[in-house]
Amino acid sequence: MAEIMSFKVQARESSGTGAARAVRRTGRIPGILYGENIVPTPISVDAKQLSEQMHRKSFFVTLYELDIDGKKQRVLPRDLQLDPVTDIPLHIDFLRVGTGTRIRVSVPVAVTNEAGSPGIKRGGVLNIVRHEIEVICRADAIPQRFTIDLDGLDVGDSVKISAVKLPEGVRPVIADRDFTILTIAAPTVVADEAAAAAAAAASGTPAEAEAVSAAGAVPAAGAAAPAAGAAPAAGGAKGAPPAPSAKGAPAAKGAPAAKGKKK
Amino acid sequence: MLQPARTKYRKAHKGRIHGAAKGATTLHFGAYGLKAMEAGRLTARQIEAARRAVTRHMKRTGRIWIRIFPDVPVSTKPAEVRMGSGKGSPEFWIARVKAGRIMFEIDGIPKDLALESLTLAGSKLPILTRIVQRMGEE
């Protein structure tokens, strides 16, 4: 059940880039209040008060009662723009909500009882696939979080949405499939050792083997990783940095050295 | 080390890095991440050194995501060669990183270990970095 907190804001006269910057210079954060078929109202909030609230895990699922120069309005924070470098808030959106309003909202996932999971005890890795679950529910009954108990979960086990007991009136936005929320993955050390052994057998040197196993352990680097590991084995025989190639992976084996202009 | 499997052109212009990152400025995969606080060119070796520092400190548990890729070839001229006679040959790969970019993300390890690991990773890189965590975790 959503708790209701109060938030003191001020209406602001003008809108636009220059006006918003002027507001920020005074130590306040510009924002907008919209919804309920009422004309949007530009507002500003105290930067310190906002930064205290925004770091709560349930910020976007908490109803606030805005005090706009003495006028009360029930709202839900919908969006928060941050500076890409400093992560200082730049602008905030609030949505007006009525009593029976149904909304789409992302509810955070929390895990408990990690010590009770035999998979994690054995070195498995808790892989949270979805840190938030998007649900449709009544605005005054937003779950603060979905708590998942890891008790008894072993390596290879996963928790899907069907295993989570949703409160009445709350349904997930993704309704056509039983999506995964978290899994207990096998420890990467096993995969690393296997890859290292395979690479060592292929190339013969431990250093190269480590490079291959390392690349294999990087999910984001997925496709290019094996080729990346293979190239130094061929090109870097003399300890020189591996020369990049333009002609594809096969050509990476020393092709730039042959084709590159010596000046 | 990371490098492209194949590229359309062998050599690239030096280029300049302007502005702040437009995407990849928030955590998408893990609970903790390393954010670039200034722009710079990161070589494949530096990225690999940072990755190794993290995985070794994590004792190879947990997961790591690398969200930058060195896809720009850098050429150099051989030693004791006069100027002119064309561009040198490609020697290494770099990733152009803008300020605000999340470069590494990790998950599946305790907070203190994650912060230590990312501190080590940041010290391998030639730019200022900052450790970030998911909003609401602080």
Q: What is the CATH number of the domain that holds A179?
A: 2.170.120.20
CA-based nearest residue in chain A for residue B137: A57
In a domain, B60, yes or no: yes
Of the three residues A62, A79, A97, the one that is the final residue of a domain is A97
Dist. CA A111–CA A183, nearest whole Å:
12
Chain A window 168-207: which residues touch B at a Cβ cutoff of 8 Å?
A: 185, 187-189, 192
- pLDDT-derived band at A124 (thresholds 50, 70, 90) equals confident
Contact B108 A232 (CB under 8 A): no
Assign B79 to helix, strand or coil.
coil
User: Do residues A15 and A69 both lie within one domain?
Assistant: yes
Q: Is the CB of residue A144 less than 8 Å away from at least one CB of chain B?
A: no
Is residue B99 over pLDDT 50?
yes
Dist. CA A106–CA A173, nearest whole Å:
10
Is residue B100 over pLDDT 80?
yes
In a domain, A48, yes or no: yes
Query: What is the SS3 string spanning A141-208?
Result: HCCCCEEEECCCCCCCCEEEHHHCCCCCCCEECCCCCCCEEEEEECCHHHHHHHHHHHHHHHHCCHHH
Mean pLDDT throughout A136-149?
A: 91
Give the contacts of A54 (CB within 8 A, at least 6 positions apart).
Answer: A80, A89, B135
Dist. CA A157–CA A159, nearest whole Å:
7
Contact A108 B66 (CB under 8 A): no
User: Do residues A15 and A82 both lie within one domain?
Assistant: yes
- pLDDT-derived band at A240 (thresholds 50, 70, 90) equals very low
Q: Is the CB of residue A217 less than 8 Å away from at least one CB of chain B?
A: yes
CA–CA min distance B21, chain A (Å): 7
- pLDDT-derived band at B103 (thresholds 50, 70, 90) equals very high
Contact criterion met (CB below 8 Å) for A253 and A234: yes
User: Do residues A83 and A119 both lie within one domain?
Assistant: no
Structural domain total, chain A: 2
Q: Is the CB of residue A214 less than 8 Å away from at least one CB of chain B?
A: yes
Tell me the pLDDT of chain B averaged across its residues.
Answer: 94
Query: Residue A100: what pLDDT?
Result: 83
Contact criterion met (CB below 8 Å) for A257 and A238: no
CA–CA min distance B36, chain A (Å): 8
Contact B60 A228 (CB under 8 A): no
Mean pLDDT throughout A116-136?
A: 89
Which residues make beta-bridge pairs with A41? A33
Domain of residue A70, residue span: 4-97
Mean pLDDT throughout A201-215?
A: 40
Contact A84 B25 (CB under 8 A): yes
Query: Residue A218: what pLDDT?
Result: 40
- pLDDT-derived band at A245 (thresholds 50, 70, 90) equals very low
**What ipTM was predicted for this assembly?**
0.88
Query: Residue A45: what pLDDT?
Result: 94
Domain of residue B62, residue span: 39-77+89-133
Angle CA A10–A103–A72, to nearest 5? 25
Is residue B87 over pLDDT 80?
yes
Assign A228 to helix, strand or coil.
helix
In a domain, B7, yes or no: no
- Name which of A133, A136, A140, A73 is nearest A109 in CA terms: A133
Query: Residue A189: what pLDDT?
Result: 56
Dist. CA A119–CA A36, nearest whole Å:
48
Mean pLDDT throughout A133-146?
A: 92
Give the contacts of A226 (CB within 8 A, at least 6 positions apart).
Answer: A212, A215, A216
Does the model's pTM come out above 0.90?
A: no
Higher-pLDDT residue of B124, A187: B124
Quick: pLDDT tens for A52-78: 888 887 889 999 999 998 889 999 999
In a domain, B123, yes or no: yes
In a domain, B14, yes or no: no
In a domain, B138, yes or no: no
CA–CA min distance B77, chain A (Å): 7
**For position B59, which CATH number holds?**
3.90.1170.10
Mean pLDDT throughout B29-39?
A: 95
Mean pLDDT throughout B123-127?
A: 97
Of the three residues A81, A97, A113, the one that is the final residue of a domain is A97
Of the three residues A169, A185, A201, the one that is the final residue of a domain is A185
User: Do residues A34 and A67 both lie within one domain?
Assistant: yes
What is the interface size between A and B, counted as CB pairs within 8 Å? Answer: 161
In a domain, A252, yes or no: no
In a domain, B17, yes or no: no
- pLDDT-derived band at B137 (thresholds 50, 70, 90) equals low
- pLDDT-derived band at B113 (thresholds 50, 70, 90) equals very high
CA–CA min distance A39, chain B (Å): 31
User: Do residues A19 and A62 both lie within one domain?
Assistant: yes
Of A3-7, A46-50, A125-129, B129-133, the one with minimum mean pLDDT is A3-7
Query: Residue A198: what pLDDT?
Result: 56
* H or E element, residue B53: helix B44-57
Q: Is the CB of residue A111 less than 8 Å away from at least one CB of chain B?
A: no
**For position A64, which CATH number holds?**
2.40.240.10
User: Do residues A30 and A109 both lie within one domain?
Assistant: no
Query: Residue B44: what pLDDT?
Result: 97
The percent of residues above 90 in pLDDT, for chain B, comes to: 87
Q: Which residues of B touch A84 (CB under 8 A)?
A: 20-22, 25, 99-100
Higher-pLDDT residue of A167, A252: A167
Is residue A217 over pLDDT 60?
no
- pLDDT-derived band at B108 (thresholds 50, 70, 90) equals confident
Query: Residue A206: what pLDDT?
Result: 36
- pLDDT-derived band at A195 (thresholds 50, 70, 90) equals low
CA–CA min distance A138, chain B (Å): 23
Dist. CA B42–CA B96, nearest whole Å:
7
In a domain, A112, yes or no: yes
Structural domain total, chain B: 1
Residues in chain B: 138
- pLDDT-derived band at A140 (thresholds 50, 70, 90) equals confident
User: Do residues A93 and A137 both lie within one domain?
Assistant: no
Strands annotated E in chain B: 32-36, 40-43, 63-66, 72-76, 89-97, 102-107, 129-133
User: Do residues A13 and A51 both lie within one domain?
Assistant: yes
Contact B65 A220 (CB under 8 A): yes
In a domain, B26, yes or no: no
In a domain, A152, yes or no: yes
Query: Residue B10: what pLDDT?
Result: 95
Q: Which two tokens stand for residue A226?
A: 């094996």
Query: Residue A3: what pLDDT?
Result: 64
Dist. CA A97–CA A102, nearest whole Å:
9
Q: Give the ranges where chain A is alpha helix by DSSP (H).
A: 17-25, 47-54, 118-121, 188-203, 206-216, 225-235, 248-251, 255-259
Q: Which residues of B touch A260 (CB under 8 A)?
A: 88-90
